[in-house]
Amino acid sequence: MACPVRISALHYLVFLSHLECSSCGLRHDWLHLQNLCTACRKPLFEKSLWRYRELLPLPAGEEPVSLGEGGTPLLRAKRFADEVDLWIKDESLNPTQTFKARGMSVAVSMAKYLGAKKLAVPSAGNAGGALAAYAARAGLEAHIFMPRDTPRANIIECRELGAHVDLIDGLITDCGAEIDRRKEKEGWFDMSTLKEPYRVEGKKTLGYELAEHSDWQLPDLILYPTGGGTGLIGMWKAFDEMETLGWIGQKRPRMFAVQASGCAPIVHAFEAGEEFAVKVPNPHTCASGLRVSKAIADFLILKILRQSDGGAVAVSDEEMICVAREVGAREGLFVAPEAAACFAALKALLAAGKIASGERVVIFSTGSGIKYLECYGL
């Protein structure tokens, strides 16, 4: 069986390119002692997820391929659930409006550094958009294979970002198979999630930001909309790294994978006590990011859910769409159905008494609803 490759050691590459004003964006030389912005007297930050550059793979001195990804807000929920201390990590503010940007920034940076010229990815939608953007930024070719019923916004986005787009009559696994068949002859580098070691490195910055924004106290519980599981696996890796660095202690959040009823291989495997998931024959859900019938890293996801004393929850499309409006009206966030699934799962877990009142819960709102207008009745 092919297993995902990942970095096993921590990298302590000290690297800093510049400081940037948190207000006006003016760049400052880090080689000089700096306090506030020399123009507007506001604080200077290193912006984007590359703030954690010492913990990311790109060698020092190489310029990352960046569009300002990461550094998203952790918002305190105002009205959605009073019983718990709910926080929302709003990933819709990333370039291309989803958290796929995190993985692709690091993966495209590494692919470019290592000499790749043509990048290919099978995508349910958002990975394609993110690859198209970062490949364009890097001056590389992007070849994107998506199921024909991918949300229109994703298809148009890829095209307008200059990618080569192929629509396949089939599922994301069929898209992956097509790339496998042709990649050698075409000279494509396969950027599929977890078949490539660095997307998970970009996604792990979710864990670093979460800890940093919570004063290095991780929450009691995390709800994560799980397709391939890259973010869940990445965060778990980040927690271990941070413990090694002495930034956090041994406590871990209970990790919950949230999936769609029409495609819930992890939920089924978790409930059956299995180590691996069984491929879902006819996956269907409008939450395209969750339409992954068999995740290559299913065993890693399941291990994390069990180790953390977490769980797995399936949510129907009807519930997602219904809850999305509640989130919109109560919190001011137009969320992707994947994110809406987490809010519905929170309700289900509360109703089942699996979350104690007052516990601190974080939902990863992985994308914007604006990319899913078909789901919301366009």
Ligand X SMILES: *Cc1c(COP(=O)(O)O)cnc(C)c1O
Could you list the residues that contact ligand X (CB under 6 A)?
A: 98, 100, 126, 193, 225-231, 289, 336, 338, 366-367
By the 10 Å C-beta count (0-12 exposed, 13-18 middle, 19+ buried), 14 is classed as: exposed
CA distance 375 to 286: 6
In the complex, residue closest to ligand X by CB: 289
Q: Which is nearer to ligand X, 21 or 292 (CB)?
A: 292
DSSP state of 48: S
DSSP H helices in 258-308: 265-272, 298-307
Q: Which is nearer to ligand X, 227 or 265 (CB)?
A: 227
How many Å separate Cα 177 from the centre of its chain? Answer: 23
Q: Which is nearer to ligand X, 37 or 366 (CB)?
A: 366
Q: Which is nearer to ligand X, 37 or 205 (CB)?
A: 205
Q: Nearest distance from residue 292's CB to ligand X, in Å?
A: 7
Q: Nearest distance from residue 98's CB to ligand X, in Å?
A: 5
Q: Nearest distance from residue 24's CB to ligand X, in Å?
A: 32
Q: Which is nearer to ligand X, 126 or 308 (CB)?
A: 126
Q: Tell me how crowded residue 353 is: count the other CB atoms within 10 A of its CB.
A: 8
Tokens coding 297: 């890293």
Strands 19-21 and 221-225 come out as: unpaired
Q: Tell me how crowded residue 181 is: count the other CB atoms within 10 A of its CB.
A: 10
CA distance 62 to 37: 25
Q: Which is nearer to ligand X, 248 or 300 (CB)?
A: 300
CA distance 48 to 56: 13
Contact 131, 199 (CB under 8 A): no
Q: Tell me how crowded residue 279 is: count the other CB atoms within 10 A of its CB.
A: 13
